[in-house]
């Protein structure tokens, strides 16, 4: 069911979002070559819980961690791994969902570890811009196909990267995954029409090569999604609110770039 949020519900989601934003700002300073991925998990969980919030991914379909940590060719849902250290040149994606006082929020970010190659710099930039192209299309009266098309056209037609089809954005609030499903590809003018008060995530996963992915179904993992061809992947995700004044980013980390998207 699609719910339209009241001002009070938006305020609760903003408070949960502020915790995620603070966590990502903390990670921005923490992430560097040599850092153990386990430390990303423990420090993030500590940050969330010490700010009166709950890490919602713990217990979701048996998942054990506050964060997913996906490196290089890992697209999403990677596990924090004790002893796995980040290396110079890596791209690490950290995704989390938190709840606070009835509000919920979801945001993933890609971090560059030390100095990354020019190709991976370009992947980072295109993935970030892909998300913004989707957000810009998320205006009242547009359809979800307009959002998906904006992302796909930019990532694939203009930049020659792969735009993952298998994982999507989603409605959010009161729980983590609500209707509608927000595809990151599509046909302009098709799909559900966007309305004021909807809260959704936009979270394209962009690959250097094919958009196709494979999931690790081994007993010791069972979660990690990787690119099918070993190319690298980058992802950015914001929780947004559709308003008559345009899309608003609840999880913004960048008040300068995001000035027009702030509530």
Binding site for Mg ion (CB under 5 A): 95, 106, 108, 237
Q: Which is nearer to Mg ion, 66 or 137 (CB)?
A: 66
Q: From the CB of 206, what's the least distance to Mg ion, in Å? A: 15
For Mg ion, the closer CB: 99 or 237: 237
- E-strand ranges in the chain read 54-55, 67-71, 74-76, 91-100, 103-112, 162-163, 169-171, 178-182, 199-202, 205-207, 213-215, 225-227, 233-235, 238-243, 246-249
Task: Return the bridge partners of 105, or none.
Answer: 98
Query: What is the nearest approach in angstroms of Mg ion to the Cβ of residue 235?
Result: 9
Q: How far is the CB of 33 from Mg ion (least distance, A)?
A: 25
Question: Order of strands across the sheet with 213-215?
Answer: 74-76, 225-227, 213-215
**In the complex with Mg ion, which residue's Cβ is closer, 178 or 237?**
237
CB nearer Mg ion, residue 108 or residue 113: 108
Least separation in angstroms between residue 256's CB and Mg ion is: 24
List all residues 6 or more positions away from 196 whose beta carbon is below 8 Å from its beta carbon.
Answer: 4, 140, 242, 243, 244
């Amino acid at each position: 069911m699609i719910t339209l949020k009241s001002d009070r519900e938006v305020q609760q989601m903003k408070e949960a979002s502020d915790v995620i934003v603070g966590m990502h700002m903390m990670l921005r300073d923490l992430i560097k070559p040599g850092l153990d991925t386990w430390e990303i998990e423990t420090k993030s969980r500590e940050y969330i819980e010490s700010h009166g919030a709950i890490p919602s991914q713990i217990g979701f379909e048996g998942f054990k961690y506050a964060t997913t940590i996906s490196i290089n060719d890992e697209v999403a849902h990677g596990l924090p791994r004790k002893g796995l250290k980040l290396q110079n040149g890596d791209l690490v994606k950290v995704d989390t969902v938190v709840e606070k006082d009835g509000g919920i929020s979801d945001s993933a970010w890609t971090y560059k570890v030390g100095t990354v190659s020019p190709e991976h710099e370009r992947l980072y930039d295109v993935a970030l811009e892909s998300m913004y192209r989707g957000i810009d299309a998320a205006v009242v009266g547009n359809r979800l196909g307009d959002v998906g098309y904006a992302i796909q056209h930019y990532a694939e037609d203009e930049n020659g990267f792969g735009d993952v089809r298998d994982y999507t954005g989603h409605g959010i609030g009161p729980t983590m995954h609500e209707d509608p499903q927000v595809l990151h590809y599509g046909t302009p003018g098709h799909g559900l029409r966007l309305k004021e008060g909807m809260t959704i995530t936009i979270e394209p996963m962009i690959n250097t090569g094919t958009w196709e992915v494979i999931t690790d179904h081994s007993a010791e993992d069972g979660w990690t999604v990787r690119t099918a061809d070993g190319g690298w992947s980058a992802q950015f995700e914001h929780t947004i609110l559709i308003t008559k004044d345009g899309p608003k980013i609840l999880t913004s980390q960048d008040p300068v770039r995001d000035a027009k998207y702030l509530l």
